[in-house]
Every structure is written in C-alpha cells, then in structure tokens.
Structure 1
Amino acid sequence: MKSKLPSFSNTSEDASDILTDVYCAPIFICSTYSGGLNVRPEDLIIEGDFNQNSQRSGTLTFIRYKGQCFAITCKHVVESLEKREEVAKQRYQGLGGDGQLPEQDMTGFYTPILNTRHHCNYRFYAVPQPENGEIDLAITRVDESYIKKLGRKPIILTEKKKIPEIGIASGFSEEQRLLQKYGFMYQFTSKFVRCIATIRTTSGGELFLYDEISEHNGVNNLSGMSGGPVMWLEYKNFGLLGIVKQGYDIKPSPGGFNDSNTIYIRIEKITPKLIEEWSKHLPESSKIPDMTIELYAPQVVL
C-alpha cells in the first residue's frame, strides 16, 4: 500500500507515474534465529522510550554505477543494528558467557516479503568522514541477484548539473508497519510512503525537501524512511538526488517550527563523484552467511 503526501504547490502530475518503490526496500533489525517472527505489537514502538525489544527499521536504496550495484542506507541505521548487538553481547557476558553470541541473540537486516524474511547478507561500511561535519551514509557492494530476489532493481546513477525544483522522498515509515497474526506467531509488513515537495538548499549547501501540505493521509512520524531514495523530478525525467537523512513529524506540535502540516526532510546527497570516492574504500566482497527465513506458523484448530 502507498501513501502519497501531495504538497500545496509545485506538485507535478508526472510524479504519480514514477514507481520509486522499485528502487528501495525496508530493512528490519531482527534476530537471525527467528527473523522477527516473535515480534509483538508492543515492540513496534515509534516514539518515546526505546528498549532492547523495540523493533526498529530503516530503508535500503539500490543503485548501479559503472556496472556495479550498491546498497545504501543511513549510517545511523547501521549503528542501531550494532547497538542492539552490543547490548546482547553485554547481557550474554553478564550471564557468564564467552566467545561468540548464541544464534538466538545475533541480529541482522531483514526484508519481509510475504512468508519470507530475506536476510541482507552483506556488511555495510560507513563512508569516509570529512574533517568538518558528518556524512550519515553507509554503503556496500551487492550482487544484482540479491536486489532481484527482493523484487527490486537498482537506479542508474547519473550526474545532474542543475538541481530541479521538485523532489520525491520515499521509504518505509515505522509508523506505518503492520503485524498480522498467524497461529501463535506475528509477521510484520511495511507500507510504502512517498513525500513530494520542493527541493531547497541551506546557506551551507545542504539539501532538504520542504512544503506545507494539504493533508497528511494518516502519516506523521517519518522515522524508518532513513536511507530511502530522494529523486529529483523534471517533467517526465527523474534521477537520484540522495537518500533520506532525517524526516521531521508532519503534524504541528507544541513548540514546533510550524503550525501546519509540513513536509521537512533532510537529504544526504549522492553523486557519481562521491560514489567513486566511497567505493575505493570498500572491499570487493562483504558477504556474510545468508540467514533468510521462511515463515511457518500452524493454524490453531479448535
């Protein structure tokens, strides 16, 4: 299912024809033992206090450049995975364990598709950081077969000298996740969210999308869209501008910066020149064991 957030102004009719979901996929931070089959409704917290059981998720963007395919997400999404692993390790050691974590305590990135949890069997690497500031981006080389397995395809990265006026940010909001019960187990799914707004630039050269919108269509919290593709749109042409770095709540809140429904999304820019530089620091292969899991939940017969 898709949620479209039309802006008041500068919205192109051509935007409805661009299927940006084919270039990205949701990634849930899950146990490699269960693939997230034991997630409970109370674990899908999206605001307030997070704990070790909180089910977090982000978005992967797939690109192709000079015959190679890459998967990209935000560095802070990868850090969330690493933090969960560290908490599990500390808990394990506190109980007297040593050596490698038991399988039920290990975690990884999973994409839910029907009855299957597809494990992202690649290790991500944070891109080299500049002396001033921070690039919130992690990247890895992937085989195109992995992208096809998820029913997606990579977007071809090209140079755009002049940035157009309209942008489309896409991803899988944590707020829009669903749980369906199968027997004694729950399986989760994600809704695709797409935000269309004007591309703007800060005085420091950072890019963001900003517009007041006519309605929020049931979407407010954009956490989980981190790492999703941000496209530039010009007539019927489009291309990749970058990924979602941070999306602010759409509805106005006390003490907030706006008193109306607003799209405000910060962008981490991606260009061919940057990919050239980042890929120099990547190993040729970062594959790890594939822990893809099939769902089998027996129905309760009364």
Structure 2
Amino acid sequence: MKKEFPLCDFFNNNDALHCASLVITPNLTEDKHRRISFSQPSEILPNGTITFIEYSGKTYGITCWHIIEIFRKAEKKHGEHTHTMRTMVNGFYVIMDRFVRPSPELCQPQPDIAIREINPEHIKKIEKAPIKLEFLPKIPDGIHHAIAIGFPTKLKDKKQESEVFHRISMPHVSIVAKLSNGKPTQRFNMFSELKEDPAVLDFSGVSGGPIYWSTGDEFGIIGITYESVAGTRLFGPKSIQISGELATPEIIEKWIQDYHDKVT
C-alpha cells in the first residue's frame, strides 16, 4: 500500500487540519410541544466541507457552489434569515453567505466552486489552520494517486453526555485513491476499492473538501471534491469514486483574483 500510494507524515496525524464541516441549519427549531428555541448542533443537519486557504496575507474559505445553492434554496423557501451556514467544531460559528462563484476558464465549464474571504480568527477558534498557498511545493509530474478529505453527513453521531447535554461527533474520511488518468489537467476522477464495505454508502458532505497529492516526503493541494459515490452496481459495494475540480495553487490564485474583482 505504502509503495503504491506513498503518503507523507501529515496524513498520519491531523489530516483534516485545513478543512471543517459546513452545516446548513435553520436558525430556530420547534420541539414536540411547539416551543421555539435557537437551533443547536444536530447529527441530522445536512453539511458540506469547507477548505481553508491563506494567500498574500488573507484567508479564504472554499467549498462547492452546489452547497451554497442548497442554502439559498432553503432561504428562498422558508424566508430570508431563516437559515445559516455554520462550522460545528468547538462551537456553532456562523459563516455568512458572501460566497462568489469563479468565472469559467476558456472552453471549460464553470467550476462547482464557491469562495469568500474569511476571518482568520474564526479558523483559530475552531482549531483549524489554512493551507499556505505560497509555500506549497511544486506538483510532481509522476503522481498517480491523491487523497480526498471530507465530512460525510451520515457519519455524524449524537453522543448524550447527560440528561440535558449532548455532543455531536463528526468523523472525517480520508480516501486514498488512484487518479484515473494520471496527473490531471482539468476536472478529474479518482477510484479506490476498499478491503471492507464502507461504514456508509452515502458520502454526501465530502463536497468542498481538499484533495491532496502526496509523496513520501511532501504534499500539496490539487483539487476540491465536488462529488463522491460509494458502492456502485458496476464496481461493487466496496468501490469509491471521487470527482474533483482541479485546484492547483495557480488555479486557486485565479479564483482569489476573480473573487476580489467581483466584490470590489
């Protein structure tokens, strides 16, 4: 495994350091007695993943545009200011909807990407850290595998700590998979076959998470997951396919420039 898919030490420790779950939640909830209260963290809330980037002294959050569309549809259906997007680590912190979708490259589809500048103190509060884009090593030519990180909605779990208090567990997945056509030059696919059946067959929630390349000594970002499927009739229940938007440092720099052009 290690010889076929070499991984550097980062993936043996806190490999979800640069991303977090992005939960879509109603601001108010009603219990069975019709009592209204402010929403609390819950295992049933839908989520995506948000990836944190630092570039030129500023910090950004990147996720998938279809995650933002789900949020906006909820707001359209139930009313303005009825929902928020939040990280659910060390608190229930709001990320306001100031996301922008990058423009497409020539002859390419518009990427399923949403980006906004984000307060670096937010990231510190939830004990995460941004990927420092300017200090990443060059992507090697010979890569044939990558690692996708994200937070599947169905893996969230409610742990009752007392009669009154509960805690939400949010495991992440790290999917090491073969790149279908070697080093990607545009949208790409990754495929992996597990030794055992996956814990869940629905990997919704991983969208927006980082995809890394790795050698035995170094790593960097190469993509953002926009779709993931576990278990198919064609490849069997132990298969996982990840689809990624190409997100090299050079492409992310273009997204950041495009973001600032659109918000100024």
Q: TM-score range by the shorter chain?
A: 0.7 to 0.9
Judge conservation of contact 1:112–1:189 (CA < 8 Å) in 2: no
1:72 and 2:53 aligned: no
- Indicate the residue corresponding to 2:34 in structure 1: none
**Partner secondary structure for residue 103 of structure 2:** coil
1:194 and 2:174 aligned: yes
Aligned counterpart for 1:87 among listed residues 53, 73, 77: 77
- Indicate the residue corresponding to 1:269 in structure 2: 246
Return 117-126 or 18-27, whichever deviates more: 117-126
**1:95-134 mapped onto 2 (5 Å cutoff):** 101=80, 106-114=82-90, 116-121=91-96, 123-130=98-105, 132-134=108-110
**1:229-240 mapped onto 2 (5 Å cutoff):** 229-240=210-221
- CA 1:278–1:285: 2 relative to 1, 3 Å: closer
TM-score, normalisation: structure 2 = 0.81
Tell me how far 1:8 sits from its aligned partner.
10
- CA 1:284–1:259: 2 relative to 1, 3 Å: closer
1:127-172 CA-to-partner distances (Å, cap 9, x unmatched) read: 1134542311000112221211111001122342526222111110
**Partner secondary structure for residue 84 of structure 1:** helix
- Indicate the residue corresponding to 1:135 in structure 2: 111
- CA 1:19–1:113: 2 relative to 1, 3 Å: closer
- CA 1:148–1:234: 2 relative to 1, 3 Å: same
Q: Report 1 or 2 for greater relative contact order, CA contacts < 8 Å, sequence distance ≥ 6.
A: 1
Aligned counterpart for 2:147 among listed residues 168, 174, 188: 168
Aligned counterpart for 1:37 among listed residues 36, 40, 43: 40
1:257 and 2:234 aligned: yes
Aligned counterpart for 1:12 among listed residues 2, 6, 14: 6
AA at the equivalent of 2:218: N
Using the alignment, how far apart are the partners of 2:71 and 2:189 within structure 1? 26
**1:213-224 mapped onto 2 (5 Å cutoff):** 213-224=194-205
Judge conservation of contact 1:37–1:187 (CA < 8 Å) in 2: no
Using the alignment, how far apart are the partners of 1:35 and 1:283 within structure 2? 34
Tell me how far 1:62 sits from its aligned partner.
0.6
Between Structure 1 and Structure 2, whose CA radius of gyration is higher?
Answer: 1
Tell me how far 1:117 sits from its aligned partner.
0.8
**Structure 1 alignment gaps of length 5 or more:** 1-6, 45-54, 90-100, 287-302
AA at the equivalent of 2:179: I
Tell me how far 1:72 sits from its aligned partner.
0.3
Tell me how far 1:184 sits from its aligned partner.
6.3
Tell me how large the CA RMSD over aligned residues is. Answer: 2.9
- CA 1:217–1:75: 2 relative to 1, 3 Å: same
Judge conservation of contact 1:65–1:272 (CA < 8 Å) in 2: no
Return 177-186 or 76-85, whichever deviates more: 177-186
1:22-75 CA-to-partner distances (Å, cap 9, x unmatched) read: 000011101234664285x7xx3xxxxxxxxxx310000011223222110000
- CA 1:216–1:187: 2 relative to 1, 3 Å: same
Using the alignment, how far apart are the partners of 1:239 and 1:8 within structure 2? 18
Return 215-224 or 233-242, whichever deviates more: 215-224
AA at the equivalent of 1:37: Q
AA at the equivalent of 2:170: S
1:73-101 CA-to-partner distances (Å, cap 9, x unmatched) read: 00001111001101113xxxxxxxxxxx4
Return 265-274 or 178-187, whichever deviates more: 178-187
**Structure 2 alignment gaps of length 5 or more:** 29-36
- Indicate the residue corresponding to 2:17 in structure 1: 22
TM-score, normalisation: structure 1 = 0.72
**Partner secondary structure for residue 180 of structure 2:** strand
Using the alignment, how far apart are the partners of 1:165 and 1:258 within structure 2? 20
AA at the equivalent of 2:100: Y
